[in-house]
Amino acid sequence: MTEVEIIRDRGPRNYSRRKFIKGVIAAGATVSASSYLFRGPGVLTAGQARGGVERLMTLSVNGQQRRVDVLPYETLAMTLRYKLGLTGTKLGCDRAECGACTVHIDGVSHYACSMLTHQVRGRAIRTIEGLESPDGELHPVQQAVMDEGGFQCAFCAPGFIMSMAEFTENNPGATREQCAQALSGNLCRCGDYNKILNSAERAVEYMSQRA
Amino acid sequence: MAVIRDMIPPCELFQPASIGDALNLLDQYGEDSWVLAGGLDSFDWFKDRIKRPEAIVDLGGIEELKGIRADGDGLVIGPMTSLTEVATHPDIVGRFGLLAQAAAEVATPQIRNQGTLGGNLAQDTRCWYYRGGWPCYRAGGNICYASAPKAMNAEHCVFGASRCVAVNPSDTAPAMIALDAQMVVTNAAGETVYDAEDFFIGPGIDIERMTVMEPGDLLTAIRIPGTWAGADFHFEKIRDRQSWDFSLVTVASAIRTSGGTIQDARISVNGVAPYPMRLDEAERAVIGQAASDDTGIAAGDIAIRRAQPLRHNAYKLPLMKNLVRRAVRAEV
Amino acid sequence: MAEKAIGRDIAPPDLRAKITGRARYAEDFRAEGMLFAKLLLSPMPHCRVRRIDASAALAMEGVVDILTADDPMMPEITGVAAEAALTNEPLYEGEPVLAVAAVDETTAANAIEAIRVDFEPLPFVVDPLDSLRPGGPNARLDGNIQWREGQTREIREFKWTDADFDAAGPDRLPMGEPQVEFNIGDVEDGFGDADLVLEETILHQSLSHHPMEPRSVMAYWQNGKLYLHTSTQSTARTHASLANRLGMDQSDVVLVTEYCGGGFGSKISGAPINDVAAIMSRKTGRPVMLRITRYEENSIGRARPGFQAFAKMGFRNDGRVTAIDLYIVQDAGSYGSSGDFNTAGSVATLNYQPDHMRFRAVSVYTNTPPRSAQRAPGGAQIVAMLEPIMDKAARELGIDRLAIRRLNAPGEDAWLGPNRGTLTSCFAREALDIGAEVFGWEERSRLSGTRRGTKAIGVGIGVSPFVGGSRGMDGLLVIRPDGKLYIHQGIGNLGTHSIADTGRAAADVLDMDWNDCEVVWGDTSRNLPWSSSQSGSQTTHAHTRANHAAALDAKAKLQEIAASVLGGSPDAYDCGDGRVFQASNPGRGMSFADAAQRAIDMGGRYSGHELPEDLNPMTVASANNLAGEGLIGVARDNYGGEGGVWSWVMGFAQVEVDVETGKIDITEYTGVTDCGTVLHPRSLAAQIHGGAVQGFGQARSQKWVFDPQWGVAFAKRFYTARPPGILDVPLRMDWAAVDLPDPQTPVGAKGIGEPPIGAGAAAVASAVADALGGQCLCRTPLTTDVVLAALTGTEQPYRPLETHV
């Protein structure tokens, strides 16, 4: 069992090299680090390498410009959930495996758990909260899900719906099989795939009516 | 066995806009730097806190590393081109369908949207001992856990073991070999071009790396020559789930036939060795033969001739044999 | 007349929130000053904590506190093999040892890394058979089984002899002294009567539940009360168990669990890990979020126990089962006392109604994560194990595989278990007949063994029964002066839609439009009644009954109020469309809104100020809070009944197995159920299909892998554990229901969460064996490696009884 101990003892290799001064940014309209997740490390000052990313950034989320303080190693899912309050984006695995965190970046589906927020600076982010129209009208995909009776536990639903929205917006007349391929990056542990595909087919139909 | 999962340890992030800036950063930070392409392999390492770079160099902002363009009768693909683009680009679909298919079978749509061709080629092995943070040879230790007498190694190698028995998991790598692709690797000292076959290395050469690339190196271009454009291609990836799964065995082949006779052939497999293998002997055996099931069977037999299965993976032999057989025979 | 709510497709009331991202699951809550907790997990399968050095961690800026198993604030968890949230003697790799709270999660993670724990390795075992060997290791210091005799429960060391192992040889199940045994008739007589006897060694894997939502928890304290947000299947029962674990009065705990991202048996009542957030919050005086990661979920998140088994079955020439001899070695994991093995024995009796049976079993602790119920615990395993043997018998006897199942299927006189318990209803044969029709068995079975290119086609059937009901729960309704019916549900919102669907019983009794009904659920401060746990498919049965009873109570009160105001006898009044009116003169009546106001004015039992005496205290407390707010309908389900409540799903599958690669495609699936009256067709279809998908994972892909030398788990990622994705299931699945009411329950509905999984697993296992020309591999999962080895005659990757591979 000694090897096991050795592994445990692999301490932080470079951690001590960094010098962090802890504190909290106070910044007017900015969603600051006083949000939940990354309060501790605070502002990088003396130890910060030249040329590293600027923490203070503007994110375009669901059509709104949001100023936010983002650590260099922060994932988009964490920024959305813990700094912008957009908890519809779910963390099911945090490893790009389950799809519950699927969001659109410039109209393309990505796993928000597996990209750094700094990678999407200047790009248009759409989350499940941004699908409904401002007057509360459901997106055709959401309406289709509603009309098919939806999901079971629905923890996967926001991710599935985002994948379905991207696909149906870009693939009019798609078949059930094509929908299945498009949704193959999302996992549903209730196993509700048949109903999900029924919803997807209906969504294709609604999208064509909207067009 | 990492202690902490799912919180990336503090580090610095750089987003250079040019290859030159990226190389400077890699030079500056040396072994403490980490090249970030799509990130889908990288984030696992970071979240497990097994790899702890000081400086992450994100290549996403370097436009010259993206895109697909014609190069004579071949193509040059930027390594930061997304797998989705590789899978759907008309030139690749039309002329090098093997690569398009390989890219299309990677993981999931979201991963293909973000994952890059370069990242897919350069990804690390999925050996679960190594990935779990066990101090094995590949991790700088002095033991291979996966080849121990009771080890769980159904997904490990049957060829090319040299202390380490991990396999290369890339779907696009065997397609590169079958297409005679070349990899352009750049560092502060300049540019080196490798044949795909030589780009991937086994543990006998360097047990801690999957490719020739060392710290400070960047993959800057992937060249696909026109040699195999429009050939008969066969790509088949066998896995237990039809999405988000690594291959048990994958075959990628390019064959030219005339009047039912094989004129020339490239056959490559992955999932069976620490590197994607080119099956030269099987290729030689099929050239001049009919593209038939019998030829396929003979080629399959040759392909697995020197295989050395581990305790749990003897099934990879018939699987590899049959995939080679299917690649060679014209139908299917 | 309002349209009946029962039997229609109505979108659940929480659906809009779920599809817009507004539904809040446990990790979606925030509280001012919230800390983040992070766990330190055991790196070894069995060890003892000798020393913890947290000084460096606690000195880190932003680190607030540490919680260990020794903390005096941690509740004392008593009971045999009971599981505390934190331990100084981890019994499996990944078991939580301590937790740290910090101002943010990165700091908490850094702190965990800075803690040094000195672990003393202890003997461990991951294969039950290794533990049964003479001198073999025990998973626990005090033994390897939980002995039960009368009221006695104790851990004992239990070993077989060398002779037991020698007699079996390496690849057959040794059958030493069993821990439990029952006999029906005389099994040897039964084999004497048989024309065909089949004997198999069978391996069924353990497998994780993998709910999409990890069991994250957020807790805070206010005015002496604990407020806890967590992911759990049940509401009332979790509330009770949480209070009980923490030694608190139920009224001092507020549990918020409006949504649960899947449980499948792994989150029936409060998870032990909830204690960490609750106590850390009490200790620090601040809200605490414990975000459970997928890795942690796969450590602490439960699994179905695997079996190593021997089955011998005797058949008459016509296919009738004469005898079953079953021996199960269950992997009990590290804690508790999973009863899967016993249930498996009972399900075998029910499924095949044998005149003679011997059942023997032993349940052995291992140093692997804790087991718990998983949809059809014991049932899903045994049908996946035995149904392929039925196929083999049919093939050898030259009879149709549907016919052999019809012949053996239980009917009106169905019985189960050693005590020959009876059932409330059983329409198993009817379900088989409908299934044969919908699936097209006659035509499809002709495809059996045919080829499509390199693909061999196989078809299979899985007969899968499981329990589907319980009795004696409470219903609590309020008709408020707004005229609406508020259906209070103490049941959890685990994704089955039963929070709404069981309420339909009340709407229909009162003949109310479903649009005028509101479901109240998911927060114990909202006055919820006592309920069954959301497990064992009890809810549909238990709570259609409870809501029916409460609605009858409300209806009687409406009639009495109307009679007192408008004259005549209460029986002369009827309810409909939100009014109570004279049956002979419908124009003469009053609205529910007015009646509700009258009820408030009249007080007493009408307004909930007087309550029936047989209610559970939780219901009483809730009704007391609601008293005076409207007309209260409240009652305990006293309908009674004789016998067990069981439902069925008959699974019919078609597969294609590529004979050159071992790749399996499931191309067709039909599930047909007997679950009594259909409450909600689309939701029922979702249960049948969703359960089948989980069954496909069980039969074909889902792994649970341990390195036997180190005792460490590997299949902790989705890609290594391999639950099915959308491309691993048929593109379209079919279903049907017998839809005959259970005569012993007023609405006629039985639960249906459990049986679908066994049906899916058994049908696929049976179809794969069919595609392999009748070769029963007698193991799950039927992964590509196993199937291809069989097809090509290559050495199997694993020995027949090699487990956790």
According to CATH, the topology of domain C470-636 is Aldehyde Oxidoreductase; domain 4 (3.30.365)
Residues of chain B numbered 258-287 and touching chain A (CB < 8 Å): none
Residue of B nearest to C701 (CA): B240
- Partner chains of B (3+ C-beta pairs under 8 Å): A, C
Preferred mutation among C703, C712, C780, C786 to probe B, highest tally of B CBs within 10 A: C712
Cβ-Cβ pairs closer than 8 A, A with C, add up to 223
Q: Would you call C618 an interface residue with chain B, using a CB distance cutoff of 8 Å?
A: no
What band does A42 get if pLDDT is binned at 50, 70 and 90?
very low
Q: Would you call B257 an interface residue with chain A, using a CB distance cutoff of 8 Å?
A: no
pLDDT digits (tens, 9 = 90+) for A140-164: 999 999 999 989 999 999 999 999 9
pLDDT digits (tens, 9 = 90+) for C408-430: 999 999 999 999 999 999 999 99
The pTM (predicted TM-score) of the whole model is 0.96
Q: Give SS3 for C333.
A: strand
Contact B109 A163 (CB under 8 A): yes
Tell me whether strands C253-256 and C225-230 are parallel, antiparallel or unpaired: parallel
User: To the nearest whole number, what is the mean pLDDT of chain C?
Assistant: 97
Please name the helix (run of DSSP H) or strand (run of DSSP E) that holds residue C311, with its range, or none: strand C307-315
Q: What pLDDT does B4 receive?
A: 78
- Partner chains of C (3+ C-beta pairs under 8 Å): A, B
CATH of span A140-210:
1.10.150.120
Preferred mutation among A10, A104, A166, A177 to probe B, highest tally of B CBs within 10 A: A10
Domains C304-469+644-792 and C470-636 share a fold: yes
Distance (Å, whole) CA A157 – CA A95: 18
Which amino acid, residue A96? A
Give the list of residues 6+ apart from residue C561 with CB closer than 8 angstroms, or none: C580, C590, C595, C598, C599, C602, C606, C631
Q: What pLDDT does A40 receive?
A: 37
Q: Which CATH architecture has domain C304-469+644-792?
A: 2-Layer Sandwich (3.30)
User: To the nearest whole number, what is the mean pLDDT of chain B?
Assistant: 96
What band does B135 get if pLDDT is binned at 50, 70 and 90?
very high
Phi, psi dihedrals of residue B131, rounded to the nearest 5°? -65, -30
pLDDT digits (tens, 9 = 90+) for B10-66: 999 999 999 999 999 999 999 999 999 999 999 999 999 999 999 999 999 999 999
Contact C352, C324 (CB under 8 A): yes
Contact B179, B266 (CB under 8 A): yes
> Among partner residues A7, A110, A181, which is closest to B135 by beta-carbon distance?
A7
Distance (Å, whole) CA C586 – CA C373: 52
According to CATH, the topology of domain C27-122+215-290 is Aldehyde Oxidoreductase; domain 3 (3.90.1170)
Please name the helix (run of DSSP H) or strand (run of DSSP E) that holds residue C543, with its range, or none: helix C539-566
Preferred mutation among A6, A13, A121 to probe B, highest tally of B CBs within 10 A: A13
Contact A18 B54 (CB under 8 A): yes
Contact C466, C774 (CB under 8 A): no
Is residue A38 pLDDT above 70, yes or no? no
Residues of chain A numbered 158-177 and touching chain C (CB < 8 Å): 158, 161, 176-177
The token duo for C444 is 């499809």
Nearest to B116 by CA among B75, B78, B80, B170: B80
- Partner chains of A (3+ C-beta pairs under 8 Å): B, C
CA B155 to chain C, closest CA, distance in angstroms equals 9
Q: Would you call A183 an interface residue with chain C, using a CB distance cutoff of 8 Å?
A: yes
The proportion of chain B whose per-residue pLDDT surpasses 90, expressed as a percent, equals: 98
Residues of chain A numbered 35-54 and touching chain C (CB < 8 Å): 36-41
Distance (Å, whole) CA B272 – CA B317: 9
Contact C593, C631 (CB under 8 A): no
> Among partner residues A3, A13, A41, which is closest to B10 by beta-carbon distance?
A41
Q: What pLDDT does B331 receive?
A: 64
User: To the nearest whole number, what is the mean pLDDT of chain A?
Assistant: 82
Right CATH for A2-94+103-130 from 2.60.40.3140, 3.10.20.30, 3.40.920.10, 3.50.30.30: 3.10.20.30
> Among partner residues A41, A154, A186, which is closest to C106 by beta-carbon distance?
A41
Is residue A28 pLDDT above 90, yes or no? no
Would you list the domain boundaries of chain C? 27-122+215-290, 304-469+644-792, 470-636
What band does A9 get if pLDDT is binned at 50, 70 and 90?
very low
Contact A88, A129 (CB under 8 A): yes
Preferred mutation among B80, B110, B130 to probe A, highest tally of A CBs within 10 A: B110
Q: How far is CA B116 from CA A42, A118, B35, B36, C551, in A?
A: 33, 18, 13, 10, 61
The token duo for A93 is 């695995």
Mean pLDDT within C320-328: 98
Distance (Å, whole) CA C563 – CA C581: 9
Contact C519, C503 (CB under 8 A): yes
Would you list the domain boundaries of chain A? 2-94+103-130, 140-210
Contact A6 B114 (CB under 8 A): no
Distance (Å, whole) CA C737 – CA C433: 11
- Residue B148, sorted as left (phi over 0), alpha (psi -120 to 50) or beta, turns out to be beta
Q: Would you call C662 an interface residue with chain B, using a CB distance cutoff of 8 Å?
A: yes
**Domains plus CATH for chain B?**
1-61 (3.30.43.10), 63-122+167-227 (3.30.465.10), 231-328 (3.30.390.50)
Nearest to C802 by CA among B316, A1, B312: B312
What band does A43 get if pLDDT is binned at 50, 70 and 90?
very low
pLDDT digits (tens, 9 = 90+) for C688-714: 999 999 999 999 999 999 999 999 999
Q: What pLDDT does B330 receive?
A: 75
The token duo for C434 is 């409908």
Cα dihedral: B138, B144, B145, B150 (round 10)? 150
Residues in chain A with CB shorter than 8 Å from the CB of C121 are: 1, 4
Q: Give SS3 for C52.
A: strand
Mean pLDDT within A32-49: 40
Nearest to C220 by CA among C124, C284, C164: C284
Distance (Å, whole) CA C680 – CA C670: 18
Buried b or exposed e, range C36-63, using 16+ CB within 10 angstroms = bbbbbbbbbbbbebeebebeebeebebb
Which amino acid, residue C138? N
Radius of gyration of chain A (CA): 20
What is the 3 state secondary structure string of chain B?
CCCCCCCCCCCEEECCCCHHHHHHHHHHHHHHEEEECCCCCHHHHHHCCCCCCCEEEEHHHCHHHCCEEEECCEEEECCCCEHHHHHHCHHHHHHCHHHHHHHHCCCCHHHHHHCEHHHHHHCCCCCHHHHCCCCCHHHCCCCCCCCCCCCCCCCCCCCCCECECCCCCCCHHHHHHHCCCEEEEEECCEEEEEEHHHHECCCCCCCCCCECCCCCCEEEEEEECHHHCCCEEEEEEECCCCCCCCCCEEEEEEEEEECCEEEEEEEEEECCCCCCEECHHHHHHHCCCECCHHHHHHHHHHHCCCCCCCCCCCCHHHHHHHHHHHHHCCCC
Q: What pLDDT does A35 receive?
A: 39
pLDDT digits (tens, 9 = 90+) for C553-612: 999 999 999 999 999 999 999 999 999 999 999 999 999 999 999 999 999 999 999 999
Mean pLDDT within C783-794: 96
What band does B5 get if pLDDT is binned at 50, 70 and 90?
confident
Whether this model's ipTM surpasses 0.95 comes out as yes
Contact B110 A102 (CB under 8 A): yes
Cβ-Cβ pairs closer than 8 A, B with C, add up to 123
The proportion of chain C whose per-residue pLDDT surpasses 90, expressed as a percent, equals: 99
Q: What pLDDT does B212 receive?
A: 98
Contact C83, C77 (CB under 8 A): yes
What band does C1 get if pLDDT is binned at 50, 70 and 90?
confident
